[in-house]
Structure 1
Amino acid sequence: MNEKKQEEKRTPNEAWFESRWWWRVKMWLQWTSWLQYLPNAVAVVLLLVLSGLGALVDVWPFLLQDLPLLLAVLLLINLIFDVLSVRYGFHPAEALPSSHEHLDAFELMRARVSCRSFQDRLMSEEHRELVLSLAEQYSKPENCLSPHPIRFEYIDKPLVVWPAVGTKEFLVAIAPREYHEMAVVDVGRSLQKVVIEATRKGLATCWIGPGADHESIIKHLGARFDPERDHIICVCAFGYRSRYMPLSIRSIVKTQRYRLDVQELFYADTDFKKPLNTQARPYRTFGRCYEVCQWSPSSYNAQPTRGVVVTEHMRIERVDFCATTHSRYYAMVALGIWLANWECGCDALGKAGRFEQLSPDERGSGPFPDLPRYVISWVPKAAPDKETKGGA
């Protein structure tokens, strides 16, 4: 079973779509990096057709002829500009972005957004060495939650990815071929820590899951990838943000800025019926930790993670992190990203803790429903000591 089908089996409708010629054309456009220019081109054609039909019926000339023609001309100009400036790089040299060293941990995580267009340059030697050293550090067994090793491989070739443009440098996240849930969580947690520190230095990043072509990745990895032992989880692009971006991708970026409210993500009970009042005691002691989880990236911006804050005698005993789907890869990566942001926020507040996978008896707070399903807990160090089960 290939990587795609390991995530979740295809439905009959999905299989039907993927067998159509127009789907294959769409995928060809996507993997050749022309798809991001298609919406503009289609809009130009449709507006020209509308203008022509308006001329034939000869009614409401401004609305059916002049206005569509004007919009078509403007979109065509924009399309030509996008192709020349983004795809072929005909634009003035861009300055390097400034660092975010002055931001505190919460503002830093809030400032980080997915970059969809990168400058036509490689990272400086200093920045590249930083990214690689962080990737090595955070993927070490002692810094992970699972005993099953993960690693990050560096590629400085233009991989086939969607929808980001101008990508040239990547970390490829690799876990064991045999599925281990917490190893996938480790990928999200460890790589997000790299992303946070890269953001501090002014680097732009973009998580890429289903939009990455594994064939091109495996080709560039060469002997570093063993299909019998390794499984590609996702990739993350690194570089410098460019202000030149196709119009269609600008639209995608705007739609992906939406996030669920904190009260829809954190709860005070395992039935997920009591939204957490983060301003009430004792929850408010964790301040913006909830917010930085709220703004964590996830595949398709699905936000498949939930948190349950368990209290006893007005004291927070632990935070249970749960997944809202049975997805074995994308939801687990997203949950790992939440864990990294939660840790970073707790560290900034001076709240020490550890991650543990607790049995139902150890949780003692009633069973969780089928979904959201329990994955792992964060336990403050002030809580009674319990044997850490693969925690960090």
Structure 2
Amino acid sequence: MSEVLAAIRRRRSIRSYGDRPVEPSLLEQLLAASGAAGRLTRAPPRVALVSGVEQTRRILTYMVGSYGLVRNPPYLLVGVLPQESDAARLDLGYVLEQVVLEATRLGLATCWITGSYDARRAGDIVGLAPGEVAAAVCALGYPDEGRWSRLHNRTVRRLAGGHRRKPLTEIIFSERWGERWSPDQSDPVLVSVLKYARLAPSATNRQPWRFIVRSGHVALVLVRPAPIDGGIVMAHFALASAALRYAGRWEVQLGDGTLAQEYGLPKYASPVALWK
């Protein structure tokens, strides 16, 4: 399990890819990992693979210039919802981030893409059953190690704010919303788990999650409608907890009004889940 923690620390969003093909055995391993991944719902998402730059380019040219932000990925992992719902999107983030971290462990590069892609084309290419929705894609491959590609990765990462992370004391409260939390007065294992959760990627690195720590459980709250991001951070928390032996599991409580009142949440914040 220490390999999982190392993968969380190493993962970066890579936006320039080389021509080296990924070995078929590794692709098979990733698809198998998607089927074996932990899940949050009874009808989990599926992960499909798109191969070839010509195909990935068709999907990534939805917005003018968007393809240039992620250059030449030879593969895309396409996250497919069984049906549209916030719970399904939450589960997609949870499942696909586990695959992303497995790819990182195997030495592959990835980059989440949840906005600048053509969902209709992605669905047409992977084939959708009635009701299914292509809700996110993730670039996959070996990074281009050329000088200009490395510069491109650094530049876009800085523009996206990927080098910045909010401090733990800004994203964690004690008992109720707005109440100061101190790592010095918390379980050191939980503090370590929260540090790994803090490394989770999010759209434009907005880090829309907050945690409320209470005796016996941890609540996850979103401060903007971003269920995929919520699922991603839940995956980090769960994987780090398993590796560090912090007991518990997630109970999804999306939009629970009673919890919102109990925690004193502002109107823009919404409960997502409890770890207990």
TM range (shorter): 0.7 to 0.9
Gaps of at least 5 residues in structure 1 are: 1-100, 312-316, 380-392
Per the TM alignment, residue 246 of structure 1 is displaced from its structure 2 partner at its CA by 7.1
Partner of 1:165: 71
Partner of 2:198: 294
Partner of 1:242: 144
- The match for 1:257 among 163, 166, 174 is 163
Task: Give the AA of the match of 2:116.
Answer: G
2:36 is the alignment partner of 1:137: yes
Partner of 1:225: 128
| 1:237–1:145 distance in 2 versus 1, CA, 3 Å | same
Partner of 2:275: 378
Indicate the SS of the match to 2:249.
Answer: strand
Aligned length: 259
Per the TM alignment, residue 333 of structure 1 is displaced from its structure 2 partner at its CA by 0.7
Pairwise mapping of residues 148-163 of structure 1 onto structure 2 (< 5 A)?
148-158=43-53, 159-160=56-57, 161=60, 162=67, 163=69
| 1:235–1:320 distance in 2 versus 1, CA, 3 Å | same
Pairwise mapping of residues 1-392 of structure 1 onto structure 2 (< 5 A)?
104-138=3-37, 143-158=38-53, 159-160=56-57, 161=60, 162=67, 163-177=69-83, 179-221=84-126, 224-226=127-129, 228-244=130-146, 245=149, 247-254=151-158, 255-271=161-177, 273-280=178-185, 282-311=186-215, 317-325=216-224, 327=225, 331-357=226-252, 365-379=262-276
TM-score if structure 1 supplies the norm length? Answer: 0.61
State the alpha-carbon separation in 1 of the partners of residues 176 and 259 from structure 2: 14
Per the TM alignment, residue 364 of structure 1 is displaced from its structure 2 partner at its CA by 8.8
TM-score if structure 2 supplies the norm length? Answer: 0.85
Contact 1:108/1:199 (<8 A) preserved: yes
Per the TM alignment, residue 123 of structure 1 is displaced from its structure 2 partner at its CA by 0.8
Indicate the SS of the match to 1:216.
Answer: helix
Contact 1:148/1:180 (<8 A) preserved: no
Contact 1:320/1:375 (<8 A) preserved: yes
Q: Deviations over 1:45-95 (max 9, x none)?
A: xxxxxxxxxxxxxxxxxxxxxxxxxxxxxxxxxxxxxxxxxxxxxxxxxxx
Q: What is the aligned-residue identity percentage?
A: 24
State the alpha-carbon separation in 2 of the partners of residues 234 and 164 from structure 1: 14
State the alpha-carbon separation in 2 of the partners of residues 236 and 127 from structure 1: 16
Partner of 1:57: none
Per the TM alignment, residue 122 of structure 1 is displaced from its structure 2 partner at its CA by 1.8
Gaps of at least 5 residues in structure 2 are: 61-66
Indicate the SS of the match to 1:344.
Answer: helix
Task: Give the AA of the match of 1:206.
Answer: C
Per the TM alignment, residue 249 of structure 1 is displaced from its structure 2 partner at its CA by 4.5
Indicate the SS of the match to 1:197.
Answer: helix
Partner of 1:20: none
State the alpha-carbon separation in 2 of the partners of residues 261 and 362 from structure 1: 25
Contact 1:360/1:367 (<8 A) preserved: no
| 1:137–1:194 distance in 2 versus 1, CA, 3 Å | same
State the alpha-carbon separation in 2 of the partners of residues 104 and 288 from structure 1: 16
State the alpha-carbon separation in 1 of the partners of residues 166 and 212 from structure 2: 16
State the alpha-carbon separation in 1 of the partners of residues 88 and 180 from structure 2: 30
| 1:106–1:144 distance in 2 versus 1, CA, 3 Å | closer
State the alpha-carbon separation in 1 of the partners of residues 135 and 187 from structure 2: 34
State the alpha-carbon separation in 2 of the partners of residues 324 and 182 from structure 1: 16
Please identify, of 338-347 and 360-369, the stretch whose mean Cα deviation from structure 2 is larger.
Answer: 360-369
State the alpha-carbon separation in 1 of the partners of residues 263 and 12 from structure 2: 37
| 1:269–1:292 distance in 2 versus 1, CA, 3 Å | same
